[in-house]
Structure 1
Amino acid sequence: MVRINRTPDGATNGERGRIDGPEWVRPPEVLTMVSNVETWFEHMELYFRAGRIAPERRAALVQYHTDAEVRSIMRAMDVQETDDYDGLKSALFEAFGVRTGPERFSAEFFRRKQQRGECVRVFAGHLRRLFSKAFPEMSGSADKILLQQFKAGLSADAVKTAVLRSEMDNFAEAVEVAVKEERVVRELTTLEASVASVKTDAYQEDEPTAGRVTEAAAAAVTTRKEVGDDLAEVLRQLKELLTDNTPAATKRPLPRQRRRPERRGDRRCWKCGGLGHISRECQASSRDARASEVSITNRTLPVVVIRAPEIETPIVEGSVGGVRCDMLVDTGSAVTLANERFIRHLKTLRDVPKPSIRLETATGTELEITNACVTEIILGNSVTVQHTVLCVRELSHKILLGWDFMRYHGCTPDPTAGCLRMRQGNIPFRKSHAVALVRVESPQSELMAHHPAQEAMEKMLPSEQESSGKHRSALAAILKEFADVLSTSDEDLGRTSLVRHAIHTGDAKPVRCSPRRIPYHQRAQVESLLDEMLRQDVVEPSSSPWASPIVLVRKKDGSCRFCVDYRQLNNLTRKDAHPLPRIDDTLDALAGAQWFSTLDLASGYWQVEVEPQDREKTAFTTPLGLYQFKVMPFGLCNAPATFQRLMETVLRGLVGSDCLVYLDDVIVFGKTAEEHTARLREVFRRLREVGLKVKPEKCRLMKRRVAYLGHIISEKGIATDPSKTSAVREWPTPTCVSELRQFLGLASYYRKFVNGFANVAAPLHRLLEKGAEWDWSKACQSAFDTLKYHLTSAPVLAYPDFHRQFIVDVDASGDGLGAVLSQREEKAERVVAYASRTLTKAERRYCATRREMLGLVWALREFRPYLYGQRFLVRTDHSCLRWLTTFREPEGQVAQWLESLAELDFEVEHRAGRLHGNADALSRTSCAQCGRLSFKDQLLTAQQADPEMQLLRQWLVGACWPVECPPECSRDMHMLWQQRRSWVDEDSLIWRHGCGLSAEKGAKQALVPRALRNEVLKSMHGSRYAGHLSDQRTLSRVRSQFYWPGMSGDVHTCCRTCTQCTRRKDLTKNNRAPMHAMAAGCLLQRVGMDILGPLEKIPSGERCVLVLMDYFTKCTAAFPLANMEASTVAKVFGREVHRVLWRPRLPA
């Protein structure tokens, strides 16, 4: 039995609540308001386990071990008498202001680093504990996230290098590797390091570099403070070594380099690699028969990685294996190196055995030589040589020309003249801040200064007017620290496997689309683009049963973009329901922020790997064979969902508080410059950990005002992007009645958003009254300007709600394109953005369908930041666009448009032109020629000139219809009189309502006099944009707007007598199958049956009749049926056919 005793004087904190029993455990100290409640509860729970305290007694013990102030808080929260331990714990956490949700622990997890003096195993344990609290329900990718954070959080570079080299995929195994390496590093701390041979334990505390020789060299590498003076001296001598033509080995040693007694047997020649002599004593021939092939003895070349921002390294332009590239001239490198990914796909002359040479980085990581080959190198455009190159996996340049190249081919770098001197001529340098390998006195070491993104960094820094020097310096330090996160070229792409794209097609059979013919002159472009993707490691050869065709889309600069038509694959793919973020919920986090940065990932999709088992589904056909993507290509239906899931995983714990993310667009914000730079550093760190890179040209850093998702973000708040409203803002002043009607048609469509619309527009409506003269007064100009202001102000342009469906209204006329982006909100439509533009001369010659397609493609491209990644609705008054997505074998411009639409998910809805005034008005911003009568004006003139129309107008306006139509009137007039209830007079024109027209409100037809009927038929059938449709389709088009008696016959005659139609179209033939007699040679050889019904049910319940007939005897019989089901028919047929038809009754 356990008994709790209290001493008479109240007991001390250490003895309070003593447990008498088989095992006594000292309880924690009393909980006070200054205590760490989390640590206290950890000690308390340890006390419960050690003392074997029953769960029902734990709440009472917690209350007992608190002081008076804490007990008063529990009394106020009404938890003093509770027996629920978990509830009491949560209440105390809330009282002490401790957040216990997963968000808090996820932020701590991603910020957790190995502390000074903390061993690896303890650090791993803390990570695992934080992960279990931050992501309690995650199981599938838990090990990957733990492993990524473990690698990033290790402080010792030697330990981190060992983990990276082990390529462990299991967190526990990686921890064991790190523990072993930590033990080795601890033993090596007693060894003394020097600049000539730097050990891995010499790099612990200084800032990271931007090196990219291997994964380890790309990690943070630091130097000891004890050798800081030596490194400073080395930096001073770097320029001297670059500007001197004499061999580096003749230089004097570093002033403070540790000297030791010279032993001739230990000296190594850097020229031949032999022992016992130096280079000037070397007897080896420098011009032997195979001088261009590597012959180096087994030795080790460690590399020290340092910063040297003031050094410019020489670059020469040329080609290797027929491919143009930049080559780094490096007299300090003993051998010539090549990037393995670059050389892999080149045509080399021959392979040679790999030399027995070892290259090491400053951290001790060995550079693996994957291959050695002899290739053709062209310097400039004239000098051609053959040389052996060694291939390594990670190199900052494609080719590095070493000292062996200089010696064998008689090259002499001349930094003063800025050229590479050769016997055949001088090759000019192209200066660049990049990698410089400089030889120092010791032949066992080389120095590397690396700034691959120096120019990009300078462009990314804000101007002096936008930011102070202090803030610019802080931002520059961040960019230098995370230089490896910046993409320096099209081939410098990141790669992550944190989230992989999966293509779930279920049991669907592979789809194999036939390859499309590629024009002969474009095949070279296809091969070039394919070679580039192979070098980027984006695609690989395939033997997949799946195949999709490729499409070449021409870009603005004249080059081609390589695209794949995945429409068939998308139809079979199970759609990913991962939601895209609701921007309206997260934009509130920008309140109070004054500094903003926008980041855009470099070819973001190509940085995401595809699941290995699904890569075959991305296969595409080319003239060179079948290839498949290793990364996520554009055009897949689930690609936006996958990319959003990746970004949310990478930036978990930061979204909403530090940054916002929508697909590959990221905005980082902060209230102060210091807070903003700290958040930006954390975002860059997250991107580096998973291997993602940003495109410097598209990033905007440390700005007071940035554009993001169609908004202008500033410290004053969120405003609309001026480019989205320029279509209405720049509407020209009307110069005629027609232009004014167009503007008022647009304004009236959105009049519900303008306060007092009728009063504001009154001066403009007076100009439209009958008989009014055109007088554009100051009042009209003021009303016009006021309406434009209200149409483009905040009450009209609503914030986009990405949780609701977007609606795009698009229209095209002979002069321009117009589009309106809107959303439905509480049974009303709110405008998000307007857009319009005029057509070029070439575009004005497009047919109506092609012009409408152009308008759709342009509008979707204009509104792509809103529409990309979710399904939306497109409304148009051109019904042909409804079959746009089913177009078979598109070519040329149509193929380009379809490819640009493939990544968007939308539905096309047809809307009558009379209801499409919002976009229609934007596409018709001015008359073709001011003062020229529109067709409505011509119709009014023709009606007034026609005598029968004048008589009809008198009857209509005066409401004096005769009882019978006068006999002297024409046949057309009699038909008009019979429809007297359908005529109305509007705008001095006679219109026809009802009579089978569309049920839509306001549907009407204009009455066309005889003088204009041929012109209407020509416009609706034979004009440039009519398309010479069939008589039925032409009649439908005419009937939608006009009417006159005998219209059907006139349309039929017009189409039958059209010269172009009769020349180009075949006569319609109604093909029918020939009829044959149904022969039968004996009884019941052929029996016919039919079912009549359902009829009215008879008392016995039957509603159908089965009729049978024998073809041989022509005998018929009928039987009642209860229903038409197959089982019922079979029963009656089997029972009655032999009884009735086998013994037919012969006629008497």
Structure 2
Amino acid sequence: MKSRTPEVLAAGQTVVLEGIVHASGTPVDKWVVVEHPTVSSLPGGVVVKCCLLTLSPEQSGCLPVVLTNEADHDVIIPRRCVIGEIHAMESVHLPNKSVSKTGLESIQSEICKESRITLDFGNSPLSQEWKERITKPLNEMPEVFAQHDLDFGWTQKVRHRIKLSDETPFKQRARPIHPQDLEAVRKHLQELLSSGVIRESESPFSSPIVVVRKKNGDIRLCIDYRKLNLQTIKDAYALPNLEETFVALNGSKWFSVLDLKSGYYQIEVEEADKPKTAFVCPLGFWEFNRMPQGVTNAPSTFQRLMERCMGDINLKEVLVFLDDIIVFSETLEEHERRLLQVLTRLKEYGLKLSPEKCRFFQTSVKYLGHIVSESGVETDPGKIETIKTWPCPKNLKELRSFLGFCGYYRRFIKDYSHIVKPLNELTSGYPPLRKGSKKPGKGGQYHNPKEPFGGRWTPSCQTAFETLITKLSTAPVLGFADPKLPYILHTDASTSGLGAALYQEQDGQQRVIAFASRGLSRSESRYPAHKLEFLALKWAVTEKFHDYLYGSSFTVVTDSNPLTYLLTTAKLDAVSYRWLAALSTFSFTLQYRAGKQNVDADSLSRRPHRELFDDQLSTKEIERIEKFVQYHANDTNASSITDPGVVKAICEKHLVQQNNDPAYPLVMSLAIHPDAVPDCYVQEDVLIGSSAIPHLTKEELAEKERSDPVIREVLTYLESGEKPPPVVRKEIPDIPFYLREWDRLEMKEGVLYRRRQDGDSITYQLVLPEELRSFAVNQLHNQMGHMGIERTMDLVRSRFYWPRMGSEVEHRIKTCNRCVRRKALPQRAAPLVNIQASRPLELVCMDFLSLEPDKSNTRDILVITDFFTKYAVAIPTPNQKASTVAKSLWDQFIVHYGFPERLHSDQGPDFESRTIKELCAITGTQKVRTTPYHPRGNPVERFNHTLLGMLGTLEEKEKSRWKEFVKPLVHAYNCTKHESTGFSPYELMFGRQPRLPLDLAFGLPRVDSSQTSHSQYVQHLKSHLKESYKIATRNAQKLAERNKVRFDKRVKESALEVGDRVLVRNVSI
């Protein structure tokens, strides 16, 4: 006989399996004996008990087989495994003890007596008669309850899928296991293998394990799936909202809480996705057959399974939240029916419960950290006991843990936002959890999250901490909302915030359903009193309590008498009309009550709140304009004019009193088209010259230098007029570097500089303290388009000096993640024929660069470069039409820089059109073009490659807005030295060095110049440009010759002979 299905036998367990008889001519209605097979593939320790049975036609070739696992570990019986042999008997003694055709049922009955399910009725007031009544049908459903720790259910109704955005496999090394945990891990892996949860793997994926000890001393294997989760496409299936689901419990008196046995292990993983779950440890390489914990979409998959399993009875007769199930009803008979219906559905889906964690027929149960009863929902005393002994938080991590716990129960605490305000303020000023989500604290510096609060933990913080503990210990019971009864909504508003309380009349008394409160944004805090009251009403009805109030009749109680007129005859502005439209879908009446009587909502509103942001769209607009104005006004006080309320008022065409602030006209000009300001002015890490860059004064720079231990020593000896002795040189390794530059070191206004001769001019390099070096390199590399080593080094060298500067900058760039990910190695190639130019605008080249469309559906960039200076202009265009090219060329290049002598492009129809030819004729420009099918003939192709690399270093969220970053990045390119000329394109085009935000931040001096009049400046400029052009021409020629020599080494000439066939032209058909 062979087994029909795979089974798991726990250590010491006896079970009855159905064996399929494989024999021909077996006698019918004859006695047979079932014995242990002579040749068997059963696991060691499994014994087949001898049994005498009758083989009858009703059994259809199947017989019961009794197996006992005498081993000290669990084993698995595979499918179609030989589990017994049968022999016919001619005569049988002791016929009264024979086993009839009901042998299977009788044997199973004996076994079930040993494994009978113990139901936990706890403190249920259920009578003994009812307990016996419900125990019988539940014991007839043993398939729904796990018999041992490894008795997991198994369903294929829902399979877990792992869809990856990047299918590239990854491999992580195994982490070491402590020797004392080794055997426990080995046993646990064997148990998971025997139960079919895992299998051996040959996957290209590999995640490490982490061994965690439980409170009872057992181990738990956690797989570190962080890398897999980063590549996983997130499942949008949402978990239910607890506050909304608890409403379904209204009117219930009886509750049963069910808990699935290792719920995740009951769901099969899609076969193709099993290798992605692979994990490695020193004891082997495995992958999951069942859904593991830790994968990002596991909760969504589980919730999808449970809601599909419960189907139409979910939220009506049962609530499911992952593996926690609660059955509820008003009467015992109804509860019995619903419970059996839920168990039947679990059985149909192959799911098993953990009987020791189930509670049946209770009048009060713990569910998801709450106590649920006929009275309503309240906090779990067991959880609250923890908070009574909660130690006082000493740092940010401990405080966030405390606030997270309290926040889970905030709906039970009146004035929660008011109480917690000092603690919330204490969490500000730390590095943001997400980039750009917070600003630094006072002084522009973040607090260290690991440091103790110290003096920042004030008496008000201690009072808030103690009050929260007290409030949670005495939290009220919130009633269940009854949709059949009308609601009463109390609202109030003040300059500190909004408050609301929702009630219902139940059983002759007013029951609290929920409290709510929130603060005001900066613009909302400027609303007049009547508009604030209107806002409180709109927020409470259409946002906070929308799910309760929509479709129901309710009464709004307010202490604002003018509110009744606002909703009827008052003249409203555009915003208020929108609020009125939103409220028009609700059915309610207004009732005035004096503030002294409207205590609940009044106290929730009349208190300080944390400042909130305006709606998303207006905030984005306001921040754009505000930061743009701050940048261009170059005034830290600009924020006083660019207050969001003022900006919003100007944008909405309201009257605003003008003052003398220079930023005001900028706001007025931008208010017409606020979207014209690029989004990059909202990004702190992209904004060049924004308030994110500190403007250090000479005094602050001097203080920074003297706080640097090396520079402090240099200054000490420099001021004394002596050089450091050999002893100091040995103690401080960097001192010899300064000694080499000793004669070039100068003090200017208390700040140390290094004098540098740059041609005919003298520049001064700021001797940069170690504290500021990382910031400076970041500004000159990250914020300048992630240029290469040479260009970045030129920017740094022209401004700063410190020992080993070159190697440090090179290391930072080589380890820059965005550069490594995006930029490829340069191609070894050069033009076959060198193009010559000796002055600006002698030869101007243009070409189109096409990219993926951005959010504005722009896909093309018209790139224009001056061949001599290498100066570039990039213009995003909606298309490649000739009219677009002509307009962009005229508006964005010619009117700014002048008429080119020659205009060079490929033979695209947009460049060879009549429109372009007429433009060239008007400007006196000669139009030239490249050789067909030879893109190298257009020098702008090289800049296209550079621009692509710079755009490629943008963050993923920024790439969808690449149009906004084109001009800042091209400007960064123009400000860096070009390898072919030895000058920056900006300097060759304008005759002076560009002024960068970092120069303003550090107060770096301009190039030394003695010109005092316009004529002297012009004369010096001509002289400087003339010399620069000579040097640039000479450098360009040398580089072109080197490139040609390198290229020609790879060129093989074609030998032509008379009679060879050559291509004359292509003929279109």
Structure number with greater Rg is 1
- TM-score category by the smaller chain? 0.3 to 0.5
TM-score (normalised: structure 1): 0.35
